[in-house]
Structure 1
Amino acid sequence: MKYDLVLLHPPTVYDFRKEMLFTGPISDVVPSSPVFEMYPIGLTSIGDYLERYGLKVKIINIANRMLLNPNFDVEKKIKRIKTKAFGIDLHWLPHANGSVELAKIIKKYHPDTPVLFGGLSSTYFHKELIEYSCIDFVVRGDTTEKLILMLLNKLENKENDSFFDIPNLTWKRNNQYFYNELTYVPDSLDEFEFPGYRYIIRSVFKYFNLLDPLPYKGWIQYPNTAILTSKGCTYNCLICGGSKNAYELNCNRKKLVMRSPKKMLEDIAFIQRFTRAPIFLLNDIRQGGKEYVDEFLSGLEKMDLKNEIVFELFNYADEEFFRRLDRAMPKYSIELTLESADEDIRKYNGKLPCTNTKVIEMLQYALKHNCAKIDLFFMTGIPNQDYESAMRNVDFCEIIHKECDESSRISYFVAPLSPFLDPGSPAFENPDKYGYKKFCYTLEDFRAAMKQPSWKNMLSYETNKMTREEIVRATYDSALRLNEFKFRHNIITKDVYDEVAHKISKSVEFLHRLDEIEHLPDSLKSDELAKIKDEVDKINRHSICGKNELKWEVKKLFADIPSLTYIGVELLVTEIIKGIKCRLGKIDRNMVVISKSNQK
């Protein structure tokens, strides 16, 4: 089969299976492994949107295929692909190395096939990316579905010299670089699918491949699902690449845009057709205002809701909010990133800027109104935080645990801000002002940092209070202390406690060994790194918390294969009807344009 577009998701470091990379805890509190194999949900939205117009679009999660099979031959896979264009996401900066290396492989076997890059990090570094000979286009901004369709139309019609009218596009011709203005910033998201689960399921049956589009390793066994509620933000946290200022600087998005409650309710109804796993609502729905929240929760209340809904909260919530959640659905949970137990530090950084008394009050309200699980996240490596401050995070966990009647429904986590300070964030743009010292400035800096053998040297920053060594020490010491707290209060079992304590101990040992290897002659380094690779790989995942601590307990973890099959057939029939309409000219992909009134 020949495709119109094949979207590839890269690993963080392309040759991670060969390189000795001690990634430490950089992915311990996300579903992905240190390879960050979970692709951004924007890929599914692109696939879904393009296929509405009769195009054939396939997602291949190269990172996950490499994880699932150590012998998976990436070059052989890419060589066999027949497509009119390739797309690679560089959304999260840890993929800086793997994305470009994947583009080089594509050009090796398909020198005349256009390669597109997109994502938030691609947008930020678009001028550097376009200078690589293996990259032909960078589609900038946070919503690129229409732009990609316009670009593919021009490529299909051989209009290779007239890309000036596609907003947000970076491109080149005859060694000249062109940067079209970033003016397309849609103020409605309802015509796009975030995420496009219908597209994923349909593509499995349409292209006869289950493994290529899987979101991450283990998804079939534990199919976490998520819905993007908004783009932009009303908050301006210093270290966040998705903050208000970062969105405006990078994507020209000057205000928040929410998906409508109606669309989110449709997504939830569809998801629970094929799984009973939790549904995460990404970003705080309260940013949409009271009427928005009331409409959404009223809709949930009318549904025959079977899945647990997980809400992300950015700020204090009163008792009425939790009472309303409890009334609207049979089971819900919340996630809170406190970052620091020190109120002044938290306020300075912009994350949950309320007092500790209010934090505890909010947690008590949540428990009172039947919140099933509360995840609390603390961080190391934030401005004004010294070693003692990082350790006080665990002291605050003790206080919370006591004040909340030692509830087992609260889970506690600590993790470093790693590996990079987000480009576009206020702290990255003004490091001296906000308490940072940067080591990485350009895309090549980040590409090189990601290949450092030790995660300590991957860190792209130091703070005004801690060096990289001190950030690492504070991370492991606070994680060890938190592990002891959890075991002492029966939050984790002895087996989990022992495993985490062992991994932390081994991690500290490996850091010392890597420091010693760093001082060896280059001729000896590779051999010494190779000797410890297998040992390091064993502790690279879940090194500071138990592997199941982040998971929600549900009666049925597995994706419902019969339901997926039924849905897949149903969607394929719809696809066939759509294809007939395209051939009859009732759906014309060339009619999609972006008018001046829709540009900013």
Structure 2
Amino acid sequence: MKLDVALIHPPSVYDFRKSPSYASMISEVIPSMYVFDMMPYGFLTLATYLEKNGLNVAIFNLAAKMLKDRSFDVEKYIKRIEADLFGIDLHWAVHAQGAIEIARIIKEIHPESKVVLGGLSSTYFRYEVIRYPFIDAILTGDSAELPLLRYIEEGPERTPNIIWKDGGKIRENPLSWIPESLDEFGIDHEFLLRNVKKTRDLAISSPFASFDEAPIAGVITMKGCPFNCITCGGSRFAYERAYMRRKLAIKSPEAIADEVEGIARISKMPIFFVGDLRIGGMGRVERVSKLLKELDLENELIFEFFTPPSKEVLGYIRRTSHSVYLQISPESPFEDIRRAFGRPYTNQSLEKMVSNSESLGFERLDLYFMVGLPFQRREQAISVADYFRKLREISKRLDSFVSPLAPFVDPGSRAYMDPGAFGYIITLRDFEDYRRALLSEHWMNSLNYETRWMNRREIAEASLDAYERLLTERYLQGIVDEEAYELAMERIELDKLVLDRVERGIPIDDLKDRIDELARRSDARVKKGLSLYPTSGLAERIRNPILRALITLVR
């Protein structure tokens, strides 16, 4: 297939299929599996923008395809793609190994094509990454639409936000194009359907590997953040210092509603709104509520909040659809730990939100907790189940999840830049350190930090114990079904076994088949049973019968 631009999403590690490793715990509370197969949302904005400007674009999710088809020959497939430019995402550092390996393969097969990287991590590590001989350029910052188009049409000299090779020299144009509105960069969600028609392959066209079994759509409502969670590479601190964004980019209520309508026109899948709608003012909440209500949606809607909202705000959110879910991340049941992390609110305000969500009839409120926080010791980490039990007395429409802060304290975050001030010890600094760490046999050894209160082994063990205790509580309360509970418990036991063997220097090659079964084949079943979000098959969610037939054909 001949393209102007091929957008490539790599697995976190290439080739993860050839060596046994266990890392499911680090992706247990997101739709992605342990190789972080969910492609970046920015691929869809890029593809929409470039298509509008007359370019032929396709997206290839190599990570998802590799998970779905263990015999998939990556190099053979890449040979079939003819493109003037290959764009590879290196947004979070978890793709440090896989993105570079895929870039190398592409350049070896297509030496005349440009290989360009983009994303926050490639920006942060740009002076190291650009030195790989098979990478032609890196687009820097949090937005690449106009720079990529300019690079294609006019070359690097006239392109903002770029570092590139010019003969034997490395040159850089400053990070100067930072859009203050997202309205110009909406998504045509029908692009995904056109992409399937181009590739004739649902797995390689899917946003993530289990999309066929549990589809979900997203709407980005903002870029940047007003909060300073200390380990987050998307915090205000990181955006201002590393990515030059000093002003939030807000998507208007009208643009949000247009995007939702585009999703609803083709499917009934759940829609997750990324970003707290209160950022931008109460008027924005009211306007979004009104516009979404007028759409009379059949889709379930999921809204996140960074701090507990008022009952008035929740009232507006509840009117948006027949079925509405809420999410918030208190991180810890302990207020001092939460405050130290950058979430400055009380348990009283959180419990008020729980009560209000019950009285207003939300489908569910999900709470997310984390292990590896400042001031947090093991006994505090594993107490999540106890706090959850208490909150369930307020509302039975409540669910909860816990995971380690893994694998990395984000480069560019406050804790990364000044670890001692927050009780962290950062163990990885150079980009090559991250590439090597991602090849570890157990996820504990990929962590780039310890804290003053727990070392890496203690963080791993506390994470597993906290997860097991919360899982058991959810099972006893009838939230998790028996099959999902038993599979999840098997995964915990395997995780502990791999950890013990790795720590004692005992090979894990004989566990490869079991790891493959529990970490990959069972992942969708576990996550569906754990109910991260409302699920049903993609074909059931697609409205058009012709499109349903197409999806069935290209499975």
Global fold match (TM > 0.5): yes
1:189 CA drift (Å): 1.2
User: Could you give the per-residue CA deviations for residues 10-36 of structure 1, whole angstroms, max 9, x where no partner exists?
Assistant: 001011000111114011101011111
1:562 CA drift (Å): 5.9
User: Could you give the per-residue CA deviations for residues 418-444 of structure 1, whole angstroms, max 9, x where no partner exists?
Assistant: 011111111111111111101111111
Choose the corresponding residue for 2:349, options 336, 358, 364: 358
User: Could you give the per-residue CA deviations for residues 545-592 of structure 1, whole angstroms, max 9, x where no partner exists?
Assistant: 7542234346775355562856999xxxxxxxxxxxxxxxxxxxxxxx
Is the Cα–Cα contact under 8 Å of residues 118 and 140 in structure 1 kept in the other structure? Answer: yes
- Amino acid corresponding to residue 438 of structure 2 in structure 1: M
CA distance in 1, matches of 2:188, 2:120: 19
Quickly say closer, same or farther: Cα 1:502–1:221, change in 2 above 3 A.
Answer: closer
Equivalent residue runs for 1:183-582 within 5 Å: 183-193=176-186, 195-206=187-198, 208-351=200-343, 353-404=344-395, 407=396, 409-517=397-505, 528-540=507-519, 547-553=528-534, 558=539, 560-561=541-542, 563=544, 565=546
Choose the corresponding residue for 2:167, options 174, 183, 206: 174
- Amino acid corresponding to residue 516 of structure 2 in structure 1: D
Q: Determine helix, strand or coil for the equivalent of 1:285.
A: coil
Choose the corresponding residue for 2:158, options 152, 160, 165: 165
Quickly say closer, same or farther: Cα 1:564–1:176, change in 2 above 3 A.
Answer: farther
- Taking structure 2 as the reference length, what is the TM-score of the superposition? 0.94
1:48 CA drift (Å): 1.1
- Amino acid corresponding to residue 143 of structure 2 in structure 1: T
- Amino acid corresponding to residue 172 of structure 1 in structure 2: K
Deviates more, 1:506-515 or 1:22-31: 506-515
Quickly say closer, same or farther: Cα 1:345–1:545, change in 2 above 3 A.
Answer: farther
Partner of 2:92: 92
CA distance in 1, matches of 2:440, 2:200: 38
Is the Cα–Cα contact under 8 Å of residues 225 and 279 in structure 1 kept in the other structure? Answer: yes
- Amino acid corresponding to residue 209 of structure 2 in structure 1: K
Partner of 1:575: none
Is the Cα–Cα contact under 8 Å of residues 204 and 213 in structure 1 kept in the other structure? Answer: yes
Please, what is the CA RMSD of the aligned residues?
A: 2.1
Q: Determine helix, strand or coil for the equivalent of 2:303.
A: strand
- Amino acid corresponding to residue 192 of structure 1 in structure 2: F
Deviates more, 1:305-314 or 1:266-275: 266-275
- Amino acid corresponding to residue 45 of structure 2 in structure 1: S
Is the Cα–Cα contact under 8 Å of residues 28 and 545 in structure 1 kept in the other structure? Answer: no
Deviates more, 1:380-389 or 1:205-214: 205-214
Q: Determine helix, strand or coil for the equivalent of 2:425.
A: strand
User: Could you give the per-residue CA deviations for residues 512-557 of structure 1, whole angstroms, max 9, x where no partner exists?
Assistant: 1122226xxxxxxxxx332221122233367897542234346775
1:154 CA drift (Å): 2.7
Quickly say closer, same or farther: Cα 1:174–1:557, change in 2 above 3 A.
Answer: closer
Quickly say closer, same or farther: Cα 1:564–1:372, change in 2 above 3 A.
Answer: same
CA distance in 1, matches of 2:121, 2:98: 13
CA distance in 1, matches of 2:479, 2:53: 52
CA distance in 2, matches of 1:120, 1:568: 38
Equivalent residue runs for 1:53-72 within 5 Å: 53-72=53-72
Quickly say closer, same or farther: Cα 1:492–1:223, change in 2 above 3 A.
Answer: closer
Q: Determine helix, strand or coil for the equivalent of 2:147.
A: helix
Answer yes or no: is 1:125 the counterpart of 2:113.
no
Count of residues paired in the alignment: 548
Partner of 1:159: none
CA distance in 1, matches of 2:490, 2:454: 25
Quickly say closer, same or farther: Cα 1:512–1:136, change in 2 above 3 A.
Answer: same
CA distance in 2, matches of 1:328, 1:302: 8
CA distance in 2, matches of 1:270, 1:333: 20
Structure with greater Cα Rg: 1
1:240 CA drift (Å): 1.0
Q: Which runs of 5+ in 2 are unaligned?
A: 551-555
Is the Cα–Cα contact under 8 Å of residues 29 and 532 in structure 2 kept in the other structure? Answer: no
Q: Which runs of 5+ in 1 are unaligned?
A: 156-162, 519-527, 570-600
Q: Determine helix, strand or coil for the equivalent of 1:191.
A: helix
1:149 CA drift (Å): 0.6
CA distance in 2, matches of 1:321, 1:425: 30
User: Could you give the per-residue CA deviations for residues 373-413 of structure 1, whole angstroms, max 9, x where no partner exists?
Assistant: 11111100111111111122222112111233xx1x21111
User: Whose relative contact order is higher, 1 or 2, with alpha carbons under 8 Å and at least 6 apart?
Assistant: 1
CA distance in 2, matches of 1:567, 1:21: 36
CA distance in 1, matches of 2:286, 2:336: 32
Deviates more, 1:328-337 or 1:118-127: 328-337
- Amino acid corresponding to residue 286 of structure 1 in structure 2: R
1:273 CA drift (Å): 1.9
1:206 CA drift (Å): 4.8
1:192 CA drift (Å): 0.8
Quickly say closer, same or farther: Cα 1:7–1:539, change in 2 above 3 A.
Answer: same
1:354 CA drift (Å): 1.5
CA distance in 2, matches of 1:188, 1:287: 13
1:80 CA drift (Å): 2.2
CA distance in 2, matches of 1:152, 1:450: 33
Quickly say closer, same or farther: Cα 1:200–1:288, change in 2 above 3 A.
Answer: same
- Taking structure 1 as the reference length, what is the TM-score of the superposition? 0.87
1:209 CA drift (Å): 4.5
CA distance in 2, matches of 1:430, 1:470: 22
Deviates more, 1:214-223 or 1:239-248: 214-223
User: Could you give the per-residue CA deviations for residues 344-372 of structure 1, whole angstroms, max 9, x where no partner exists?
Assistant: 11011112x21112111111101110110
Q: Determine helix, strand or coil for the equivalent of 1:403.
A: coil
Deviates more, 1:279-288 or 1:539-548: 539-548
